[in-house]
Every structure is written in C-alpha cells, then in structure tokens.
Amino acid sequence: MKKSILLFAIAAVAAIQSVSAQQKRPVAKSRYWFDLQVVQHFGLDKWNDAGYADDGFPPASMTEFRGVFNFTPFANPVFGLYADAGLGVMPAPKIGSFDTGRLPMPNSGTRYYLREMVSESGVDNASVHLRASVGIFGNFKMAGKLNIMPYLGAGLLTMPQRRYETVLKEDGSNMQYNALYVWGVDVSDADVADEYASGAGPAGFVTGRLNFKYRIKPALGLVFGLEYTYFISRMNFYGKYSNTFNGNVQRSFNAEGNNMNMLAVSAGISF
C-alpha cells in the first residue's frame, strides 16, 4: 500500500511539473488572421471628362465594408499573402433619368424631343458594388505593441452598365432617329451592337495600402490604414444615332474615360 501511494505521489509530481513546463513554453503564433474594416474611398479625378458621360456613372466615392484574410506561408513571418472582399455603396448618378437637355443630339443646333423610350436599363439610384483584391503584405513590428503593414495587390470592382435606347423626333420636321447611349467599363464602338452592349463588367485596378496595427491582446488588435487605388479600366461612353426610316447611321461617337485615382482611409479590428 505504501509503495502504491509513493508511486502515485511521484506520478502526480511528474504530471504537475510537465503541465508547468508546458505553460511556460511560448505559444506558437497563428500563421493567419482576419481583419474587418470600414473603408471610405475618395476619387481624385472624374470617371470621364465629358460631363454627360461622367454624370451617368455613380460619383467616385464609396463606403466599403471589407473582410481581409491574411496568411504567412513562408518561413519568414515578415511577409505574407492576403485576399480581401467587400461590399461598397456609391451615391446615385447625377443623371437620374433620360434627359435630352443633358445628352448630345444627332445634329448640333437642332431641337429634338423624346418620341419613344424603347428600353432603359442600369442604375439610377445609390448602388452596391463588389470589390475584391489579392496580393502580398509585409508585417514589421515596431516599438511596443505597434506593427506597420504595407500591402500591394490587384483586384476588380463591379460597375454596372447603363443603357438607353430611344426614338428622337426632330423639331419642325418628320425626321426621326433611333438613339443608343451606353455607359460602361471600357465600352467602345468595336463591341457595341443594337441588341447588346459590353461594358457590364468589373473594372480592374492595382492598389497599395499602409496599415497600422495596435495589438490589444496577442490575438486582437485595432487596424487603421491609408490606401491608394489606380484603375486600369476606364469608364467609357458610346452613342449612336440611326435614321429610323432607312437605318443609316447619322452619327456615332465615343467619350473615353480616365484612369481614376482614389485615396481611402480605413479603420477596423484584427483577430
């Protein structure tokens, strides 16, 4: 009996020492974590220098709710990969509905009025957009609980196409024109037809950001950031007027957009 008690005591002491040693051993840091952020984007340019074209797109301002997945697959934890996705809200375009006074006409100096609205599609109110990007980041520990984290990536932002098909009547004559107006991503004369128009797609961009992470706990922190985005895609406008009676094209034209630059500020949590 005494031997059993002695063996039990020795085993208990060994177990306690083992647990104590495990508690003192440093906990391995996670190789991945998530950020939840609110981001406010500000456009530095116009989508398009032509007023009627720019007014057909949402203003270059967006409030985004974003989630970010950060992962350090390399032996050196200073560098890693990220992927993010967010939903952004843009204000309503200035052109809320078809207006002959705000769009080019078949012949300058001649008055026209709307005879018939054949079709109308697109967004004329505040709109929700999907934004996503992937890339690399650095994680540099500074003094105290502060980390500085630069990001570099590329991504896509959904931009809905807007399209009007109308019949315009020339004032003081019997002339009529079938009019087509299209606002879209990289839309051009080469890929627009009466039945279908491209441009209802995502806009490509490259982006860089600088995040400042303050660690409240080892697995919880506050994140604040500055961000720059350069759009590779352009927001273009295409218009065409065809004679209603013989189908001849009276006029067609493009208004090519700009490569938009945006700045943004962000705030969120990291866990």
- pTM of this prediction? 0.83
The whole-number pLDDT of residue 37 equals 98
More confident of the two residues 75 and 38: 38
More confident of the two residues 187 and 1: 187
What is the rounded CA–CA span in Å between residue 184 and residue 65?
24
Distances (CA, A) of 3 to 7, 10, 12, 121: 6, 11, 14, 89
The whole-number pLDDT of residue 190 equals 57
Q: Does position 59 have pLDDT exceeding 60, yes or no?
A: yes
Q: 218-245 pLDDT, tens per residue?
A: 889 999 999 999 999 999 999 999 999 9
The whole-number pLDDT of residue 191 equals 54
For the ranges 39-48, 89-98, 205-214, the lowest mean pLDDT is seen at: 89-98
The whole-number pLDDT of residue 192 equals 58
The whole-number pLDDT of residue 76 equals 79
What CATH architecture is 29-270?
A: Beta Barrel (2.40)
Residues with Cβ < 8 Å from 178, sequence gap 6 or more? 118, 165, 166, 167, 194, 241, 242, 243, 244
Kindly indicate the confidence band of residue 189, based on its pLDDT and cuts at 50, 70 and 90.
low
